[in-house]
Amino acid sequence: MINCIRYWRRQLVKGVLAATLLIWLPPQLLTNCGPFDNGFSGYSFFEPEVWVQERAFLPFYLGIDDAYKYYQSVEARKTQYNVREWTERVCREAEPEDVYFLVYKAPLTDIQMLQSATTSRKLPVPLRLQGNSFAEFLYAQRCVETIDYLAFAKKCEPHVVALNPWSVPRRDTVAMLALIAEGRKAFLKTRSDYMRLRYAYQIVRLAHYAGQYQRVLDLYDYLMPKIDPDRARLHTSLLPWWILGHKAGALRALGQRVLASYLFARIFLNCPSRRESAYRSFDIRTDEEWQQCYALCQDDRERATLYAIRGSTPDSRALEEMKQIYTLWPQGPYLEMLLAKELRELERDLLGLAFNDQAEQNKRRYDIPRDQAGAYAIELEQFVRQVLKDGYVPHLSFWHMAVGYLQLLRGDYYAAAKTFEQVAPKLSQPQLSEQIQAMQWALRISSIVELTPEIENEIFQFVRTDPIYRKYPDFADFIADKMAWLYQREGHPGLAFLCHHPWRDLRYDPKMELVEDILNAARNPRSRFVRWLTSDADGRSLETAMLDMKATLYLQQNQLEAAWQVYQEIPRSEWDALLQVEPFVVSFKERVNVPLSLDSTNMYNRGELIQALMDLNFEIRATPERNARQYFQLGVAWYNMTYFGQAWRALDYYRSGASWRRLWQTQLFPVPGRKGVFNREYTDCTRALAYFEKARLQARSRESQAKAAFMAARCERNMYFTSTDYQPPPCANCIPVLPEEYTTHFQLLKSHYADTKFYQQAIKECSWFAAYARK
């Protein structure tokens, strides 16, 4: 016994420590959710994709880590750009999927067969390439150089694709060097400048992946001047940038970080398909290196690019970079990109901060909002206004919208409303107009300080009919949180509850304050919103349900008159539908969910039950000395209405068997799947015990006395289960050993009533009592 106590106390200590650790540890350590975890709980109505023109910047304002979401599209886009260039340069008639197949999928043997066929003219297009419009075109036009190049590229492919990560990364440098030599020869033989460009790409790439970094630089310097830029139309091709990327990589590997970073910046500026990798490869470490890199820039666009890269890191305070970029290249795409990024960050910081019910969690887990978010929003707005005023940037509507949204975020609702009114008429695209509408609604909801029926009806109308509500899913939470906050402030805790929970959630742990508030609102709904809020899913008023709950709360406190008065307000015809229990049936079998008798006269609805209890109390008062039967009946009713009896629904709406093992710790249990909702079990047997004791003392027959003592013993047993003294037995079916202080009535039965028929029956029918009687 003592060891049991020690053991379970140790478990308790461990549990408390573990719980403390769980609270103390940052959830990143607990959830381990990797790149997809977005546990921040807030709202967003700003859609950067709608405003920012250059989609290749998506990863930058979403945050590079969120680029996982766009991984496929980035990779696919690289291939897409290449296929597009092949189509534009070589054969406009070819289907892109055919180009893709020939360039990326067709095996070397098929290309070689196409080579032979094209050269001989007697052989047809190889069988597997027949029907491929690109292959057919090359064959028909005798594009020998192109096919030769494709064959060479296929040979290079195994050496330049991403290695199996499970292999030791070794490349066959001998074979790669041989291919470089072959490529050089072919390069010099080729007359087409565009194909030369393609060869240069393959050759430089081979050298880079072979780890021959100096050779990369030498090859670059050797090959690129031999390509006529006009004939190759370098200015419209991806390939010069791809080749430059390899040169930059080689420079970086050789320790020439500054020059490499400069080249990566140029790639970032000019080549969308390599923008992300250029960003990741940019590597400046000191102020001196920054100055050196800056000095390499040839024009303001390049200088602006350095700032754009610097400002694109997820935690940057990009206003500093934006100011620099504005002086250098205001017409460029960077300002929009960084403004979008900053707006998103500030939206997370500030939107709905006052009423977000997860604000505390956001701060604790994610440090959102940032400390100076409000001041930063003001600073950013000042800059945006200046830019707008100067008018040098393209897409002024975006900047204008940004002013309005920043005003909204920092709480200047009047100014924001004015701004949005000015912006809206200037927008011709439906998507942009919808954005403004959404922001105006966010503004409208944010700016509400007090609820009136008119405002409630306005919200109701918006929720029910406006397509903007459906288009922006965050409105549901936004409105619910704001309304709940307002209702709570205005002394309507019940309505606040209903904003976040379905009414049935109140049943887990009803509270008078909430019930009365909802009842009053349901009786006299002041607006369509309140009527909707205080109706169930079928549109029926919650009045009856609340009356029922109110009566139940009174009943729990044994305030029978008050419970009766409330219940009279419910039409009698509805009483049966609300509850049917058998509170007065007593049995050796203890069941909680199955009726003990099949006799319907034992069934009571709640109103009848209240009345019956009142009658019993009246009888007791009327005949003070002969009330054993009434006391016993009351004891049985109050016992059966607890967690342990079959009439538990009289006092509670939800009972969980899983609560049993922890009743000694708490009566309040989280409801699975219902955030912030707790179920209270009604376990108090003291009232029943008092009645049984009175019944025993007043009973004349010893059989009745024994019966009352038996029921009192049951109460004591349950009181042990719900006390901190409780030690769970080692197995589910084991009968726990009761401490002496909880066996008063069992002892009494044994010592005083062992000769009664009831006692004998109890021993036979009740295994618990039989076990105790044996001790």
**Rg of the chain taking only CA atoms, in angstroms:** 40
Q: Residue 336 in contact with residue 395, Cβ under 8 Å?
A: yes
Using rule CB under 8 A, residue 30 touches other proteins:
yes
Nearest approach, Cβ of residue 371 and other proteins (Å): 3
Nearest approach, Cβ of residue 401 and other proteins (Å): 25
Using rule CB under 8 A, residue 14 touches other proteins:
yes
Q: Site map for other proteins, 219-248, x if CB under 8 A? A: ------------------------------
Place of tokens 């439906």: 430
Count CB atoms within 10 A of the CB of residue 19. 10
Residue of the chain from 290, 294, 588, 654 that contacts other proteins (CB under 8 A): 290
Stretch that binds other proteins, among 29-37, 51-59, 147-155, 626-634 (CB under 8 A): 29-37
Interface positions, 592-651, toward other proteins (CB under 8 A): none
Query: Nearer to other proteins by C-beta: 290 or 654?
Result: 290
**Distances in whole angstroms, Cα of residue 114 to Cα of each of 100, 124, 300:** 16, 8, 48
Stretch that binds other proteins, among 30-38, 114-122, 171-179, 584-592 (CB under 8 A): 30-38
Please state, in angstroms and rounded to a whole number, the distance separating the CA atoms of residues 477 and 479: 6
Query: Nearer to other proteins by C-beta: 316 or 611?
Result: 316
Interface positions, 719-758, toward other proteins (CB under 8 A): none
Using rule CB under 8 A, residue 703 touches other proteins:
no
Give the rounded distance of the alpha carbon of 264 from its chain centre. 36
Residue of the chain from 34, 624, 657, 672 that contacts other proteins (CB under 8 A): 34
Q: Which residues have C-beta within 8 Å of that of residue 678, sequence separation ≥ 6? A: 508, 509, 668, 669, 670, 671
Using rule CB under 8 A, residue 283 touches other proteins:
yes
369: cis peptide before it, omega within 30°?
A: yes
In degrees and rounded to multiples of 5, residue 369 shows phi and psi of -80, 160
Q: Residue 515 in contact with residue 550, Cβ under 8 Å?
A: yes
Query: Nearer to other proteins by C-beta: 21 or 123?
Result: 21
Nearest approach, Cβ of residue 306 and other proteins (Å): 11
DSSP secondary structure of 209-249: HTT-HHHHHHHHHHHGGGS-TTTTTGGG-SHHHHHHHHHHH
Q: Residue 495 in contact with residue 503, Cβ under 8 Å?
A: no
Nearest approach, Cβ of residue 308 and other proteins (Å): 13
Give the rounded distance of the alpha carbon of 522 from its chain centre. 33
Residue of the chain from 189, 285, 426, 626 that contacts other proteins (CB under 8 A): 285
Using rule CB under 8 A, residue 7 touches other proteins:
no
| Long-range contacts of residues 619-626, Cβ cutoff 8 Å, at least 24 apart | 625/698, 626/698
Query: Nearer to other proteins by C-beta: 36 or 625?
Result: 36
**Distances in whole angstroms, Cα of residue 253 to Cα of each of 248, 257, 283, 285, 306:** 9, 8, 11, 15, 21
Q: Residue 336 in contact with residue 61, Cβ under 8 Å?
A: no
Nearest to 215 by CA among 168, 179, 268, 265: 179
Nearest approach, Cβ of residue 208 and other proteins (Å): 16
Stretch that binds other proteins, among 172-180, 277-285, 623-631, 727-735 (CB under 8 A): 277-285
Nearest approach, Cβ of residue 4 and other proteins (Å): 17
Please state, in angstroms and rounded to a whole number, the distance separating the CA atoms of residues 118 and 144: 7
Query: Nearer to other proteins by C-beta: 319 or 519?
Result: 319
Please state, in angstroms and rounded to a whole number, the distance separating the CA atoms of residues 88 and 85: 5
Stretch that binds other proteins, among 19-27, 435-443, 460-468, 628-636 (CB under 8 A): 19-27
The single-letter DSSP state of residue 604 is B
Interface positions, 360-399, toward other proteins (CB under 8 A): 367-368, 370-373, 376
Stretch that binds other proteins, among 34-42, 180-188, 229-237, 573-581 (CB under 8 A): 34-42
Residue of the chain from 47, 182, 289, 477 that contacts other proteins (CB under 8 A): 289
Stretch that binds other proteins, among 67-75, 477-485, 490-498, 685-693 (CB under 8 A): 67-75
Applying CB under 8 A, the site for other proteins has a residue count of 43
Query: Nearer to other proteins by C-beta: 14 or 464?
Result: 14
Q: Residue 147 in contact with residue 123, Cβ under 8 Å?
A: no
Using rule CB under 8 A, residue 477 touches other proteins:
no
Exposure string (b/e) for 119-150, b if CB count within 10 Å is 16 or more? Answer: eeeeeebbeebeebbbbbbbbeeebebbbbbb
Q: 670 - beta bridge partners?
A: 678
Using rule CB under 8 A, residue 21 touches other proteins:
yes
Residue of the chain from 1, 2, 23, 24 that contacts other proteins (CB under 8 A): 24
Q: 604 - beta bridge partners?
A: 581
Nearest approach, Cβ of residue 254 and other proteins (Å): 14
Q: 679 - beta bridge partners?
A: 669
Residue of the chain from 129, 284, 408, 566 that contacts other proteins (CB under 8 A): 284
Q: Residue 58 in contact with residue 68, Cβ under 8 Å?
A: no
Interface positions, 162-181, toward other proteins (CB under 8 A): 165-170
Nearest approach, Cβ of residue 326 and other proteins (Å): 17
Interface positions, 309-328, toward other proteins (CB under 8 A): 310, 313, 315-317, 320
Stretch that binds other proteins, among 136-144, 270-278, 287-295, 718-726 (CB under 8 A): 287-295
Count CB atoms within 10 A of the CB of residue 31. 11
Nearest approach, Cβ of residue 168 and other proteins (Å): 5
Instruction: Name the residues that contact other proteins, by CB under 8 A.
Output: 14, 17-18, 21, 24-26, 29-30, 32-36, 68, 71-72, 165-170, 283-287, 289-290, 310, 313, 315-317, 320, 367-368, 370-373, 376
